[in-house]
Amino acid sequence: MGPIPSFRACKGLVYVCLNDNNLTGSLSHLHFRGLTNLFILDLSHNSLSGSIPPQLFALPVDYLSLSNNQFSGQLEEFPIVNDNISTLDLSRNRIEGPIANFIFELRSMESLDLSDNLFNDTFKLSKIQSCLWELILSNNNLSIDTTNTSSSCLKSLDISFNLLTCAEKSHYVNNASYVARLNLQSNKLHCAFSSLIPTSSKYSTILLANNRLTGVLPTFICNASSISVLDLSFNNLSGSIPSCLINASFVKGVLNLRGNKISGVIPDQFSSECGLHTFDVSNNSLVGKVPKSLANCEKIVVVNLGNNNLEGRFPCMLPLSLRILLLCSNRFHGDLRCGKR
């Protein structure tokens, strides 16, 4: 509790971890002046405030975390002299304005988290000069431009809860098909799903919930060998469920199509290798019966079929792994009794 002490007399310090200590007051680079061996600086989860001194980024650290504080103002431009930072976490503060250019001149940086701040402006991924593999920009007021992005290192891109639109739809993903984990949920994407995701996509996770995507689900989405999570909930997608999403154990973990305008039947093609643990197609216009092959999903925990036009009797075939079953607002009939299994 209280302000940060000065460590200038401790020239040999390598690790300074002061996270979760209720530290208050402002931060000065003078607190750590002369610590030429400093490798890790963690000041996260405190109540530090004021602006972040740009000289802090000249420290010889590999890991720098200032997350979960009350830092505000803009990041001032600074001529970088430290090229060692590989992980930088400034998330969950009140930093505003454009993202300072010097951040992307840190050539050793591999993971950057600027989420939950007040950054605005249009950010160009082409500014990145390092082999960055994880970029988290969620919960800001940013537009993102991925044109002329040449790096193939980026594997995880999170731009959720920003101001993305489909006016520059080709900018977001067509030039970043090497990304494995893509999170664009809760933006203003109002275009056809087929025009947003490239036919060559190899994503393992696709999160596009809470947008305004239209059109049908294209079969080319199944070009990837498998997907861990596919969340397209709360959009305006229509048409039927492609059978390739169901068979061949394509989606390994979560398939969420909730809150769209999808019609037709649920394909009765769940593979014997089904690895789903969540299957949610609620709030659509599906008809027919619960497919018997859903019994093949022996790891499934959540099944939500509510608010459709499904019919038939209670699906007694569902596996014992099931913990949550929602069948409300359909046309099921008969009693709820199942024979012993």
- Residue-range domains of the chain with CATH: 15-259 (3.80.10.10)
Cβ 111 vs Cβ 86: under 8 Å: yes
Neighbour-count burial of 321, counting CB atoms closer than 10 A to its CB (0-12 exposed, 13-18 middle, 19+ buried): exposed
**pLDDT score at 169:** 46
Cβ 91 vs Cβ 116: under 8 Å: yes
pLDDT tens-digit readout, 228-249: 899 999 999 999 999 888 876 6
Question: What does pTM read for this prediction?
Answer: 0.84
Min mean pLDDT across 63-67, 183-187, 310-314 is at: 183-187
Percent of the chain with pLDDT over 90: 54
SS3 of residue 295 by DSSP: helix
Sheet of 263-265: strand order equals: 263-265, 285-288, 309-312, 331-332
User: Phi and psi (nearest 5°) for 199?
Assistant: -65, -20
Q: Output DSSP code: residue 214.
A: B
Residue (of 308, 289, 297) closest to 273 by Cα position: 297
Segment 259-284 shows an average pLDDT of 94
**pLDDT score at 80:** 72
Residue (of 281, 292, 295) closest to 327 by Cα position: 281
Under the banding of pLDDT at 50, 70 and 90, the label for residue 300 is very high
**pLDDT score at 146:** 66
At 147, the amino acid letter reads T
Residue 19 scores a pLDDT above 90: yes
Highest mean pLDDT among 109-113, 144-148, 153-157, 180-184: 109-113
Q: How far apart are CA 31 and CA 68, in angstroms?
A: 20
Name the one residue in this structure whose structure tokens are 């950057």: 112
Q: How far apart are CA 62 and CA 84, in angstroms?
A: 5
Q: Answer with the residue of higher pLDDT: 177 or 300.
A: 300
Q: How far apart are CA 47 and CA 38, in angstroms?
A: 23
Q: Answer with the residue of higher pLDDT: 280 or 76.
A: 280
Residue 262 scores a pLDDT above 50: yes
